[in-house]
């Protein structure tokens, strides 16, 4: 079997049968030094907060969706060292990367789905080795990673890469038996590969899952089944849904739940019912008020509403994405949201969308929401906020 594992490392795609016995090889940094593993313990829930490396605490973090899709180790080292220097505890990194046509792919990809089958990419240049390096480097720099295992959208291979092969529509993915079997096969591939890593903060079912126009019970059943499956593979790490936190009439007791878009259930997600699933450890919510038809001040209401649901159910909630685009008064707007989190809620943590910096290779994977390391806005909204969150008394009393 050792010989088979060696062959698998150099194959562009291999069947999953080779997976179980093929552990990641030691990873070296940009200077060819093998990375050590400093992150000492697995992160857990502690009532409505998180225990990170043995300490119950509030925290701040960031999104670096691209970290496992970088070709150059120097870029990974630069990003993670700066994230650690900021005082951030957690980074959210895409744990998916699927293509239906590898011959036309110019991106790093971890999985191939097409008419010939399901394969995993062990090519050290553009396959799972890139995520291996990101996970090992995160251990080295003491950063925890949230790994979403699928994407609602098409970027880097989401739900539609499954329905392209197994048939049906985007909304049908959640009940498509063949698509779900392949999805669980991929989950097993990733979870078994990294389940011993203390760098994993949580496994996330999907980035922003939506079933537009569906009854929310569809995603609730899917989330219950999938999260239970992940727990059967790894009962130590946390599991989250990765949703935007859409509210429905289930949460009609909340002030300002007016039935408008974010409260209508249109996207087929019921935050409160999903948070009640026993195998979902904490709740996630995102906010892009300008994209959703609300003003920026409304974001403070959205934060407090999710805090209230977490308080009701006795589970942590995490503001997993928030941003103001270039050209807006980012400092003035986002600092108000951060003040709400710090002073008016027991929201366990928040993750800025997204971290930006000058990478050694010269590539630029950012959008117009990036907050750049070393700028004055970054100092206030990232470094100073991270310190304030860490210093907040670790009790959930709001």
376-388 per-position pLDDT tens digit: 999 999 999 999 9
Instruction: Quote the pLDDT of residue 327.
Output: 85
Mean pLDDT of 90-101: 98
Mean pLDDT of 302-319: 98
> What is the C-alpha separation between 214 and 320, in angstroms, rounded?
24
Residue 23 is classified by DSSP as P
User: Does residue 130 or residue 32 have the better pLDDT?
Assistant: 130
Dig out the tokens for 193 from the structure: 């590969």
CA end-to-end span of the chain: 55
Dig out the tokens for 125 from the structure: 């240049």
Mean pLDDT of 275-300: 97
Instruction: Quote the pLDDT of residue 342.
Output: 98
Q: Which entry of 139, 204, 320, 321 is annotated as an active-site residue?
A: 321
Mean pLDDT of 81-107: 96
Residue 238 in contact with residue 202, Cβ under 8 Å? yes
- The answer to which of 30-34, 139-143, 149-153, 155-159 has the lowest mean pLDDT is 30-34
Q: Each residue of 331-363: pLDDT tens digit?
A: 999 999 999 999 999 999 999 999 999 999 999
How distant is the alpha carbon of residue 228 from its chain centre?
18
Angle at alpha carbon of residue 207, lines to 116 and 242, rounded to 5°: 130
33 pLDDT band, cuts 50/70/90, is low
Instruction: Quote the pLDDT of residue 14.
Output: 36
Sorted by sequence, the CB contacts under 8 Å of residue 109 that are 6+ apart come out as 97, 98, 99, 102, 121, 126, 127, 156, 157
* Mean residue pLDDT across the chain: 91
* Percentage above 70 pLDDT, the chain: 90
Instruction: Quote the pLDDT of residue 396.
Output: 82
Instruction: Quote the pLDDT of residue 19.
Output: 36
Instruction: Quote the pLDDT of residue 336.
Output: 98
> What is the C-alpha separation between 56 and 43, in angstroms, rounded?
10
Q: Which entry of 204, 208, 272, 320 is annotated as an active-site residue?
A: 208
Q: Is the pLDDT of residue 2 over 70?
A: no
Instruction: Quote the pLDDT of residue 6.
Output: 34
Q: Each residue of 241-287: pLDDT tens digit?
A: 999 999 999 999 999 999 999 999 999 999 999 999 999 999 999 99
Q: Is the pLDDT of residue 179 over 90?
A: yes
Catalytic annotation present for 384: no
Q: Which has the closest alpha carbon to 150: 86, 84, 98? A: 98
Mean pLDDT of 207-231: 98
* Percentage above 90 pLDDT, the chain: 87
Instruction: Quote the pLDDT of residue 4.
Output: 32
- Which segments within 121-257 are labelled E, that is strand? 144-148, 200-204, 238-240
Mean pLDDT of 222-227: 98
């Amino acid at each position: 079997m050792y010989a088979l594992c060696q062959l698998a490392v150099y194959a562009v795609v291999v069947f999953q049968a080779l997976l179980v016995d093929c552990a990641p090889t030691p990873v070296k940094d940009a200077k060819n030094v093998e990375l050590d593993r400093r992150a000492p313990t697995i992160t857990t829930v502690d009532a409505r907060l998180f225990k990170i490396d043995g300490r119950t605490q509030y925290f701040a973090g960031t999104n670096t969706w691209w970290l496992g899709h970088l070709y150059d180790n120097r870029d990974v080292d630069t990003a993670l060292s700066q994230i650690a220097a900021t005082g951030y505890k957690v980074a959210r990194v895409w744990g998916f990367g699927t293509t239906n046509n590898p011959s036309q792919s110019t991106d790093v990809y971890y999985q191939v789905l097409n008419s010939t089958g399901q394969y995993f990419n062990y090519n050290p240049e553009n396959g799972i080795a890139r995520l291996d390096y990101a996970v090992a480097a995160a251990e080295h720099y003491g950063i925890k990673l949230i790994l979403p295992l699928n994407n609602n959208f098409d970027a880097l291979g989401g739900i539609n890469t499954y329905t392209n092969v197994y048939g049906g529509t985007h909304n049908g993915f959640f009940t498509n038996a063949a698509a779900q079997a392949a999805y669980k096969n991929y989950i097993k591939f990733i979870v078994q590969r990294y389940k011993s890593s203390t760098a994993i903060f949580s496994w996330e079912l999907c980035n922003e899952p939506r079933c537009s126009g569906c009854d929310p019970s569809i995603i609730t059943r899917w989330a219950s089944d999938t999260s239970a499956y992940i727990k059967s593979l790894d009962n130590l790490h946390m599991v989250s849904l990765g949703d935007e936190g859409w509210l429905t009439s289930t949460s009609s007791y909340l002030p300002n739940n007016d039935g408008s878009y974010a409260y209508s259930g249109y996207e087929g997600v019921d935050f409160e019912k999903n948070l009640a699933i026993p195998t979902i450890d904490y709740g996630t919510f995102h906010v892009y008020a300008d994209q959703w038809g609300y003003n920026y001040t409304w974001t403070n209401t959205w934060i407090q509403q999710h805090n209230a649901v977490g308080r009701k159910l006795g589970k942590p909630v995490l503001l997993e994405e928030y941003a103001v685009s270039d050209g807006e008064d980012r400092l003035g707007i986002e600092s108000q949201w951060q003040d709400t989190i710090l002073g008016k809620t027991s929201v366990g943590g928040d993750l800025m969308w997204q971290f930006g910096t000058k990478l050694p290779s010269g590539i630029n994977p950012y959008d117009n929401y990036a907050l750049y390391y070393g700028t004055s806005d970054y100092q206030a909204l990232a470094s100073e906020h991270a310190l304030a969150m860490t210093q907040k008394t670790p009790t959930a009393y709001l």
